[in-house]
Amino acid sequence: MSGQPSSQNVSQEISFFNQFTSEKEYDSLTSYGYGSIIRAFQQYLGQQKTDICTAVDLGCGTGSFTRRFFDPNNMLVLGVDIALAAIQRAKSKNDGVKYFVSDINQLGIKNESVDLVILSGVLHHFPRPQEALKEAFRILKKGGVVLSYDPHILVLLFIQK
């Protein structure tokens, strides 16, 4: 046993990110870091990116990665975060993304309804990240893709359903 708690302390996460994002944008990477991740994701997706109609960024925070990666003019883009203050800040950008507050483990999104799921540097917040990945796969259409990066645990995932 690793000594990690068996579940995420949701109220602690909400409190921290509400306080942090009410004061400023949550921009966790440098431009170079975002660029590296975006290039890797785009290389993996290749031509498949043009087939994406619906995408969701889980753990979008204030939308920093969401705005850099997605073009909401060409697809429906959803941004999901557990912190209301982060979502309010993201919505204030009026970038065409539909942002809403939800727990990644209980999304309330229809089964097999999304072409692309991105987990934006959030897996390290889960003692058992497989729970978040299970929910990502639940909403993913057959043939859809889950992409994840998490610099805190040195993970870059490309998984196709």
Report residue 131 as tokens: 């729970």
- Looking at residue 16, its pLDDT comes to 60
- Tokens 């996460």 — which residue? 13
Ramachandran assignment for 59, one of left (phi > 0), alpha (psi -120 to 50 degrees), beta (any other): left
Handedness of CA 49, 53, 144, 99 (dihedral sign): positive
Domain boundaries, the chain: 10-160
CA distances from 118 to 19, 23, 25, 55, 139 (A): 24, 25, 20, 8, 12
pTM of the model: 0.78
Cα atoms in the Cβ-side hemisphere of radius 13 Å centred on 1: 4
Asked if 99 and 60 touch (Cβ cutoff 8 Å), the reply is: yes
C-alpha 85/C-alpha 99 separation (Å) is 12
What CATH code would you report for 10-160? 3.40.50.150
Q: Quote the CA–CA distance of 148 and 59 in Å, as a whole number.
A: 11
Per-residue pLDDT at 66: 92
Output the tens digit of pLDDT for each of the chain's 161 residues.
233 434 567 677 666 666 656 566 666 667 777 788 888 888 888 777 667 899 999 999 999 889 998 888 889 999 999 999 999 999 999 999 999 999 998 999 999 999 999 998 888 878 888 888 999 999 999 999 999 887 766 556 666 77
What is the rounded distance in angstroms from the CA atom of residue 147 to the CA atom of residue 116? 8
CA distance 110 to 70: 21
Pairing mode, strands 98-101 and 76-81: parallel
Supply the DSSP symbol for 6. Answer: S
Q: What does the alpha-carbon distance between residue 149 and residue 42 come to, in Å, rounded to a whole number?
A: 13
Helix, strand, coil shares, percent, the chain, to 5: 40, 25, 35
